[in-house]
Amino acid sequence: MKVCGTNIDEGTALHLASMDMKKLSFSDRMDIALRTIVATAGGYAFVSLLSVAMTFYLPIPGISIISLSLIISILLWPIIFIMSFLIPSLRSLLIILLASCMIVGIGAFLHPGLSS
């Protein structure tokens, strides 16, 4: 059987269909809630810093670069949100998001145009 383009066996399909949200443990619910919070805040921080970095480094004049960075941010944020649920552990998610934000932020704020 194919589900979302992936081949899965019938037993797995029946298991997924019979899952009930009430059977989730408290730790599973907390993991989902924390991932949602981290993905929302971390994704926003990353795309905001990326927008700032793009305005400094891309050679597009005027308001066009702001529009482009806004469009790219709007497209990237849902991808980051979805990817946060694909990363196996919450600790890894936090490390990846913090490292990404630090790299983009340092790159943006070390630009010579910021000091002038």
What is the average pLDDT value for the chain, to the nearest integer? 83
- For 32-78, what is each residue's pLDDT tens digit? 899 999 999 999 999 999 998 888 888 888 788 888 888 998 999 99
Residue closest to 13 by CA, chosen among 24, 23, 21, 3: 3
Hey, where are the domains in the chain? 22-115
User: Are the CB atoms for 7 and 1 separated by under 8 Å?
Assistant: yes
Backbone angles phi, psi at 58, to 5 degrees: -85, 135
